[in-house]
């Protein structure tokens, strides 16, 4: 018998609810103990589901952690404001975006610390680096303010300044997390912006 659209939609909602419940449970647990000490049974119990339900969706706790982490980063980057029309506004915009990025990390420090630490997930680190690189590239492209600039930048096969900035930001973030977030997200944004700005201007002038 064919599956109705309503039953498919209901199934999708159930999957999303289960994913959200498992992610919430994991994020609560990882603030209390290291990720390596959290079992599937722990997560399933806190999420109010069975172990078999957990395994219907994820291979293990680490896969759940990776999925939760990358989803949060995607949601964060998609929610950031668009490019500003002038350099003064751009400074404010990027500083706020950086502060939101560091605040998101701090809000789930246990999870990010586990996944970005020495024994962490290369998949998560690469995902965050790539998303930051694309965001940096977009701001460089859209804030250049020159005719034909966007088309020229889109043709560049490897945007070195954007890639360098993306790697640098995730390196700074990982170090900050491992040190227990000694500075506030606002302080981290204020310290990171001048470095970002220097690379931004270098990248624009080099590509003119």
26's tokens? 């994991």
Return left, alpha or beta for 201; rule: phi > 0 is left, psi -120 to 50 is alpha, else beta: alpha
- C-alpha pair distances (Å), 196 with each of 22, 97, 136, 143, 167: 36, 12, 9, 14, 11
Q: What is the pLDDT along the chain (208 residues), one digit of tens a residue?
A: 444 545 456 678 899 999 999 999 999 999 899 999 999 999 999 999 999 999 999 999 999 999 999 999 998 888 776 555 555 577 787 888 889 999 999 999 999 999 998 888 999 999 998 888 887 777 766 665 543 344 444 444 567 777 888 888 899 999 999 999 999 999 999 999 888 777 665 554 444 4
Q: Where are the domains of the chain?
A: 5-58, 63-207
Nearest to residue 200, comparing CAs of 174, 169, 162, 171?
162
Per-residue DSSP letters for 63-78? Answer: HHHHHHHHHHHHHHHH
Kindly tell me the sign of the dihedral angle through the C-alpha atoms of 47, 53, 57, 61. Answer: positive
**Domain 5-58 of CATH type 3.40.50.620:** no
Q: What is the pTM of this model?
A: 0.76
Nearest to residue 54, comparing CAs of 30, 71, 33, 38?
38
Residue 157, phi then psi, degrees to nearest 5: -70, -25
123's tokens? 């998949």
pLDDT at 137: 74
pLDDT at 99: 92
The CATH fold of domain 63-207: Tetracycline Repressor; domain 2 (1.10.357)
């Amino acid at each position: 018998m064919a599956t109705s659209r309503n039953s498919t939609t209901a199934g999708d909602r159930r999957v999303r609810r289960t994913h959200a419940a498992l992610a919430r449970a994991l994020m609560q647990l990882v603030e209390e103990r290291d990720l390596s000490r959290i079992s599937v049974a722990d997560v399933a119990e806190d999420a109010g589901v069975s172990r078999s339900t957990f395994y219907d969706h994820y291979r293990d706790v680490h896969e759940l952690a990776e999925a939760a982490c990358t989803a949060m980063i995607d949601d964060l980057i998609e929610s950031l404001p668009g490019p500003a029309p002038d350099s003064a506004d751009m400074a404010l915009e990027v500083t706020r975006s950086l502060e939101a990025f560091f605040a998101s990390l701090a809000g789930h420090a246990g999870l990010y610390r586990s996944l970005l630490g020495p024994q962490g997930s290369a998949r998560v680190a690469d995902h965050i680096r790539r998303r930051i690189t694309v965001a940096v590239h977009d701001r460089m492209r859209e804030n250049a303010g020159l005719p034909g600039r966007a088309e020229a930048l889109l043709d560049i096969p490897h945007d070195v300044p954007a890639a360098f900035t993306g790697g640098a930001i995730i390196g700074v973030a990982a170090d900050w997390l491992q040190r227990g977030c000694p500075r506030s997200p606002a302080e981290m944004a204020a310290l990171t912006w001048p470095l970002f700005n220097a690379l931004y201007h270098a990248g624009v002038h080099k590509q003119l």
